[in-house]
Amino acid sequence: MTNALVWLRRDLRLADQPALARAAQTAERLAPVYIHAPAETRPTVGAASCWWLHHSLAALDAELASAGSRLCLDTGPSAERLCHWAQVSDAAVVYCTAIAEPWARQQEAAVAEALAAIGVRLEVLADGLLTDPSAVRNRSGTPYRAFTPFWRSVRAQLDPPRPAPPPALPGLPEAIPEPQPLETLGLLPRIRWDEKLAPCWQPGAAGAQQRLERFLDGAGPAYGERRDFPAQPGTSRLSPHLHFGEISIRAVWHAVRDAQQMQPAAADALDTFLAELGWREFAYHLLWQQPELHRTPIDERFSRFPWREDPDGALLDAWRRGATGIPLVDAGMRELWATGWMHNRVRMVVGSFLVKNLRLPWQHGEAHFRDTLVDWDLASNSMGWQWVSGCGADAAPYFRIFNPVRQGERFDPDGDYVRHWVPEVAGLPKSHIHQPWAAPADARARCGLHLGRDYPEPLVDLATSRKEALAAFHALG
């Protein structure tokens, strides 16, 4: 047996972790190493994700310590630093799990070449997805462009292995150097705006498992009915845990399938949840085909879309701050700023408002979500923005423009979500809370609401901006 390194990236757990499991089986001693190399990640990871990563690494270090090991931290070019760690630990092999993103494939190739030059082998194991995004094809041998046939084909063949328990870890190599303190990675902001996120989340494998169990015991059986209502705890909120690999996708899949067997009445609702995992797979399928998914529209016509001029950035800034004068949009943007997360139904509404009512480029929204979402994911975020803009694969048609008033009346019928995040309009009755500009003057006066002073007038007229957007879409031909 030889010494080995496990190169950790987005697989921050011990259970069902293929690289750790392989190393534990084959190595006499092993060192779990995390290399912080932000220059290699493109596009650049945002501030909220960095906050999550800091606490996820801290949780993993504690988990490793309880297993008789520890996390070895370093910064710098991955190839250079892994060669250094391999030499000082006398490792003959480096194990890692794959990330199906373009930058990661380039990173793996550079690392493999550098390690080979010093006689060390890199072994990359599949993880993170239920499918191989490079291998899924339709009957004509081309990639899928629509979700329903993609998922129908994939679902019929899915048989992921049961999740494996944490392995017994060998000890660290004797000559292993002291790691850098976690704080030196510089993941936390200097101005501690991130303190508001801590009450909302528990990064790490334990937090992921608790989220999964809470979902299956609570919202899961009613997922199909409650998932679209932002005032209700109807979703799993597992997305950041899955993104950072704190829980394996196989563990989630089998936990849900087991719950379907134990709760037959909830089978259909939980099948809807499994389809959401399918959308995540589809996003990576698209990203594999189009590495520039975060900035280049799949429908090339949209590269000449007539976006609105916003020379001083006032419209974009109002959208970011939740000051558009449209309560459901503002509620979503404020929830995002306060918690690092936004309900998926509201994500569609705020996205549609940005690109179809304000008519600002969807790439602006993608970049803002990248910086502020704790669950930002290159594939899912890019696919979502292209979907709502009408320029992606299986996208919402250009003429589908979410009306935030109607969406609020349907999915926040009592106004509880808006009242929580937009207290300025909380005194309005539910008949007007989603459109305060339409409330009678005496109703606004009774609750002390003066539009333009206490809460903004709408940035745009919804009906007029809808007509303008449709005209712009038609002009594309």
Residues belonging to the active site: 276, 279, 307, 344, 362, 385
Ramachandran angles phi, psi of 49, nearest 5°: -65, -35
239 assigned binding-site residue? yes
Write the DSSP assignment of 424-435 as a string of letters.
GGTTS-TTTTT-
Please tell me the distance from the alpha carbon of residue 22 to that of residue 2, in angstroms, as a whole number. Answer: 12
Tokens of 440: 């009678």
Indicate the SS3 state at residue 125: strand
How long, in residues, is the chain? 477
90 assigned binding-site residue? no
Please tell me the distance from the alpha carbon of residue 422 to that of residue 380, in angstroms, as a whole number. Answer: 28
Q: How far is CA 376 from CA 12, 48, 276, 368, in A?
A: 16, 8, 16, 10
Write the DSSP assignment of 242-308 as a string of letters.
HHTTSS-HHHHHHHHHHHHHH-GGGHHHHHHHHHHHHHHHHHHHHHHH-TTTTTS-SSGGGGG--PP
Ramachandran angles phi, psi of 10, nearest 5°: -120, 50
Please tell me the distance from the alpha carbon of residue 357 to that of residue 362, in angstroms, as a whole number. Answer: 12
Helix or strand (DSSP H, E) at 102: helix 102-117
238 assigned binding-site residue? yes
Peptide bond into 177 cis (omega under 30): no
Please tell me the distance from the alpha carbon of residue 367 to that of residue 379, in angstroms, as a whole number. Answer: 13
Please tell me the distance from the alpha carbon of residue 188 to that of residue 56, in angstroms, as a whole number. Answer: 12
Q: In b/e form, how buried is each residue of 297-330, taking b as 16+ CB within 10 angstroms? A: bbbeebeebebbebeeeebbebbbebbbbbbbbb
236 assigned binding-site residue? yes
Indicate the SS3 state at residue 352: helix
Which residues fall in the annotated binding site for FAD? 223, 235-239, 273, 375-377
Which residues fall in the annotated binding site? 223, 235-239, 273, 375-377
